[in-house]
Chain A
C-alpha cells in the first residue's frame, strides 16, 4: 500500500521521547493559519518554489499558462491560480521547482526508518507519525504501524484529534504514545481559526483517556490565537478532569515557518498580521 508524505525527518528530538524519525503525512482536515507545516495541509501534491536555488532564467514564466510566475530579472511565484500541472517542474533547469508530496510504500518507508534503529534503541526513541493528519490515511498508517511493531520499534502518533473514533480504535493497539494537539477550548473560536469544530476532537480525547493509553497533550502557543491565559487555563482544566496523569507540552511559536509558505507561493497570514 502507498501513502502520500512530504518528508521523513531523522534525528527528531521534539516529537516524543528520545531520538525519533518523524514521518510527515500530507493532508489535514484543519487549516490553522499558524500551521508549521503548511505543505501538509493539502491532500494533493503541490508545486514548491525554492527561491534560493533559482537562477532567474525566466523559463517558468514563459511556459506557465496560468500566470503563476512573474519575472523581471528575478522570479516570483504565486500559486493562487496553479492547477498543479507540473510542466514548470519538468522544465526548470536547476530544480528550483519541485513537488511537495511523494507516494511511498510502507515497505520503502520501513526501509528508510530502520536505518536509525540503533539510535531509537539507545535513546528510547522510535517513530512518530505526524503531518498533516496521519489518520486521513488510516489504512496506510495501520499497515505501517503493524510492520513497525513487528520490528519492535516504539511508535507515536501526532494527531489533531479530528478523525472518527473508530480510526483511533483501529490503530491504537499498534501505537505506544499519542501526541494529541488541543488548540482552543472555545468552540466558536476553534471553528473560526481552524475551520472545524472542536467537539469531535474533545470527544475523541475523552474516549482515548478512558483506555489508559499513554498520551502527551501538545498546546501550540500562538500569539493572538491560542496564547490567551483563559484558553490555556481551560485546556489544562479539561485535561485534569480526565482520568490518568497526562503530560502537557507547550509548543512555542516558530516564526521561521513563514518561509515555508513562500515555498508554496502562499502568504503566511499570521506573520503578515504581526507586521
Chain B
C-alpha cells in the first residue's frame, strides 16, 4: 500500500456513515432551538435547549469541555472558513469529514443570524450587534465572548462540562478594560447573567456535569487567579446558586483571598466547592506523558476527575476493589448475588438494577487453606489484577466512536491536520480506570490480618460463616470486626495496606495504552459507591451488606475517630499524584464543630492548605449538620433548599432517594464531633 493510500483511509467509512447520520439528527434538532430573546437580559438564547432525540453516547458524552480557547480565538465563522479552505485540498473521507464540519458550522452561523434578526426586530440593539458580530468574525469584546459562550452551551445538546471559564474570558476582559469600553461593574453584570443562565439550565437536574474550574497556575508557576475568578466566586456566594459547580485550583502561592472565598462557599452549605492541588496534579500529569504546558491546563470534568481543558474527550471504566475482597475470601465467587434496584433521586429516575463491573473473580484458592496473611493478601491482589485485566484488555480500543462535528472542530489539529480527534495524536483524551472505596477494602483486609492472623481472635471458619450470613447470629464476631484498625485514623497498620493496594493498582494500569498509544490513567474514585454498598456482601471490617462504603478516597462513614487532620494524614500516605485521573477526599466536618469558633473560614483555609502541603490532590469539604439532615428527612417540606454534595455534583437533599439520603446522613455522623 502506498503512503497516499494510507492517508486516504485515515478516517474509516464507518465513522463517516455514523457521523453523517448524527449530523442529520443534529441539524434537525438545531432547528428546534428557540430563537429566544428577552429584552431584560444581556444575552440571547433560552436557558434550556430542546431534548436531543437520541442519547448521543457515541458522539458526545458531555463529560469534557469544548475547545473554548480555540472557539473564542477564531469564532464560529473562523471554523467554517477553515473547514472550507481545507476541503479544497482534501479528498476521500477526509473531504467528507470536513464537509460535515462545514455544514454544521454554516448552520450554526445561520442560526445566530436569526437571533440577530430577531433582536433587531424587537429593538434590542446591543444584542443584535453582538450576535451579528459573532456571525462575521471571532469575538473581540468581553460581551461578544460571553454571548459566544452561551451559544456554544446551548448548541451542545445537553448540559456539559464548562472548563476554565475565568481563563477563557480573561483576555477579552483585560482588553476591554484597557480600551475603556468596559467597566468592572459591567463585566460583573455580564458574568452574573451567565452564571444565572447555568443555574437555570442545570436546576432540578442533579448530575448536570456543569463544572467550572477557576484559578490555578501556569506551567512556569505563575499564578493565574484573576478578577474574573473572584467575581465568579463572589457571585456564587451572593446568589447561593447550586449550578454551575465550582472547582478551584490552588497552589502554594494562591492568594489568601481566594482561599477565603472558597472557605466561605464551603461554609455557606451549598456543598459546591472542590479544590485541586496544582503542585501535585501538574507533576502527576507530566508523569503520564502529558506535556508541561498542556498539563497546566487541566480542569475538572463532570464530576471531580481531572482532564485537559480543550484537548480532548474523556471516558472511564471502573472496577471494584471491595468486591475483590469478597472474591479473595470466597475463591472467586460472589457472596450475595441477589440483584437490587436503586434510585439516586426520588421518583423521576428509572430504577437501575445494580451489578458489579466484574461480578466473578478467578480461582485463587480456598481461604481456609491460607496459612499466612501474605497468602491471603496475594490472593486479594491477584483478584484485583484480574479485574484490571478483564476491564482494560477490551476498553478504549473500539474504533467506531467519533465526536460530533460541532465538538470535534474545536479540538486541536482537527482542522489543521484533518484528523478525527479519536485517532489524533495532537489530542490528549483522558481515559482512565477507577477503583474507589479503597478505605473500605483496606479495612477489610486489615481486619482479616488483625483478627485471623495476628491476634488470632477469630477462626477462619467463623469469619467465613459470619460473612455468608451477613453477620446474622454472629454478633460477637461482628463487634470484633468493627474494632479492627480502620483507615482514616492515621494508623499505619491499615494505611500501609491501602497505599500498597493503590501502588499495585497504578503499576498494573500503567502498562495499558489507549488507541493512540498514550497511557491510561488510574484513579481512586468510585462514583457508584452506593451500588458497591449493595452488591458487595458483608465484609470482614464488620460492614453488613447495604451499609455504606467510603466514597472515592474517603474513609468508610462512621469509622474515623481521630478527626479530620488524621483523615488527611491517612489519605496523603497514598501517592495520589500517581492516581491522577482523580483521587477525591470528601471530608465531612460537622457544623457543630465549627460553631462557636471565632473564624470558621480560617480553620477551613488551614485544612485546605495543609492538605495541599501534604501532597493531596483533590479535596471536597462538606459542612454537614446531621441533626438538620435527620430533621429534613422527617419534614422534607421544610428543607426544600438544603443542598448537599453527592459525588461530583450537589443536589437538593430532599430530592434524593432514601438510600442516598441515608448515605449522606451516615457520613455526617462522625464520632469525633461529639
Residues of A near any B CB (own CB < 8 A):
9-11, 13-14, 18-19, 53, 55, 57, 93-96, 115-116, 118-119, 122-123, 252, 256, 259
A18, A256, A259: the one contacting B606 at CB < 8 Å is: A18
Interface locus among B207-215, B269-277, B291-299, B596-604: B596-604
Stretch at the interface among B162-170, B173-181, B402-410, B563-571: B563-571
Q: Is A118 touching B613 in the complex (CB atoms < 8 A)?
A: yes
How distant is A218 from chain B, measured CB to nearest CB, in Å?
Answer: 12
Number of B interface residues in the complex (CB < 8 A)? 27
A119 to B604, CA, bound (A): 11
User: Which of B21-29, B61-69, B472-480 touches A?
Assistant: B472-480
Least Cβ–Cβ distance between A95 and chain B, in angstroms: 6
A-B contacts, CB under 8 A, total: 66
How far apart sit A123 and B263, CA to CA, in the bound complex (Å)?
A: 14
Q: How far is the CA of A93 from the CA of B479 in the complex (A)?
A: 9
Q: Are B596 and A119 in contact (CB under 8 A)?
A: no
| Residue B221 is within 8 A (CB to CB) of chain A in the complex | no
- The reply on B490 being an interface residue by CB < 8 A is yes
Verify A19–B479 contact, CB threshold 8 A. Answer: no
Q: Are A13 and B562 also in contact (CB < 8 A) when A19-B606, A94-B476, A123-B602 are?
A: no
**B54 is an interface residue with CB less than 8 A from chain A:** no
* Majority secondary structure of chain A interface residues (helix, strand, loop or mixed): mixed
A119, B597: Cβ atoms closer than 8 Å: no
0/1 interface trace, chain B 586-618, chain A, CB 8 Å (1 if under): 000000011011000011001101100110000
Give every chain A residue within 8 A of B490 (Cβ-Cβ).
115
Q: Closest residue to B480 on the A side, CB-wise?
A: A94
Contact assessment for B674 and A13 in the assembled complex, using a CB-CB cutoff below 8 Å: no
**In the complex, which of the residues A11, A252, A256, A259 contacts B564, with contact meaning CB atoms closer than 8 Å?**
A11
CA distance A64 to B454 in the complex (A): 30
> Which chain A positions have C-beta within 8 A of B564?
11
Within 8 A of A (CB), among B473-513: 475-476, 479-480, 482-483, 490
Residue among A122, A252, A256 facing the most chain B CB atoms (10 A cut-off): A122
| Chain A nearest Cβ from B607, distance in angstroms | 7
Which residue on chain A has the smallest CB distance to residue B475?
Answer: A55
Residues of B within 8 A of A116 (CB): 565
Q: Does B565 lie within 8 Å of A55, measured CB to CB?
A: no
B479 adjacent to A122 (CB under 8 Å): no
A41 CB to closest chain B CB (Å) equals: 19
A contact residues around B603 at 8 Å (CB): 13, 18-19, 123
Q: Which listed residue, B476, B482, B562, B565, touches A19 by the CB 8 Å rule?
A: B565
Instruction: Provide the bound-state CA to CA distance between A55 and B482, in Å.
Output: 13
Q: How far is the CB of A149 from chain B (nearest CB, A)?
A: 22
What is the chain A residue whose CB lies nearest that of B594? A13
**Using Cβ atoms and an 8 Å threshold, which residues of chain A touch B475?**
55
Closest to B569 in A: A115
Q: Is the pair B596, A14 in contact by a Cβ cutoff of 8 Å?
A: yes
Minimum CB–CB distance for B309 against chain A, Å? 30
- Whether B479 lies near A11 (C-beta < 8 A) is no
Known: A11-B564, A94-B476, A94-B479. A122 touches B569 (CB 8 A): no
Q: Known A10-B566, A119-B610; judge A93-B476 contact (CB<8 A).
A: yes
Contact B566 A13 (CB under 8 A): no
> Chain B contacts of A256 at CB under 8 A?
674
B596 neighbours in A (Cβ, 8 Å): 14, 252
Inter-subunit contact B606/A95 (CB<8 Å): no
Q: Which residues of A contact B602 (CB under 8 A)?
A: 18, 123
Which of the listed residues B475, B563, B593, B594 has the most CB atoms from chain A within 10 Å of its own CB?
B563
Docked pose: A214 CA to B475 CA in angstroms: 52
Instruction: For the complex formed, measure the closest distance between the CB of B401 and the CB atoms of chain A, giving whole angstroms.
Output: 45
* Separation of A120 and B479 alpha carbons in the complex (Å): 35
Q: Which residue of B lies closest to A120 (CB)?
A: B606
Q: Which residue of B lies closest to A116 (CB)?
A: B565
Residues on the A chain within 8 Å of B562, using CB: 10
